[in-house]
A = this chain, B = another copy of it.
Amino acid sequence: MASLRIREAKEGDCADILRLVRVRAAGGKLGGQSRAALRADGFGENPFYHCLVAEILPAPGELQGKSQGIGSKIITKVAEVALDKGCSQFRLAVLDWNKRAMDLYKALGAQDLTEAEGWHSFRFEGEAMREMAGR
């Protein structure tokens, strides 16, 4: 069986993180991230984000790409980190076509706040921000 390790990201992981962000971006609407920005935002004095990395070492002869239950293991790790930091809850954003992720989150005990309570997420982007700030 493959061995799986989940650990905190290091600055040297930024190239790989960016590669994965771009794989996602091809199917979604992310984009614009650069390696320098990822470094500055995640590994400066007051980081904007924290990141976990899953390292998989397939067992000899084992099929690559087989599900390793990484999703639930990463979310379990997030729960541990959150409890250690004294958080009473944490939230995830997910696209409604991503049924597999939604089913996983529900199976792990999460509630769909958009469905249950009607929460909507609003985004202000650069142009709107600059217009408001008069810049």
Contacts and interface: CB of A to CB of B under 8 A. Distances in A.
For chain A, give the interface size range. 35 or more
Interface in A64-104: 75-76, 79-80, 82-83, 87-97, 102
A24 to B, nearest CB: 14
B120 A114 contact: yes
A57 to B, nearest CB: 24
A96 to B, nearest CB: 4
A29 B129 CA distance: 29
Copy tally for this chain in the complex stands at 2
Contacts of A46: 46
For the complex, would chain A's binding face be called helix, strand, loop or mixed by DSSP majority?
A: mixed
Interface stretch (A2-10, A12-20, A105-113): A105-113
Given A89-B126, A132-B75, A95 B112 contact: no
Contact of A109 (B29, B110, B132, B135): B132
B95 A117 contact: yes
A26 interface: no
Interface of A: 29, 32, 46, 75-76, 79-80, 82-83, 87-97, 102, 105, 108-115, 117-133, 135
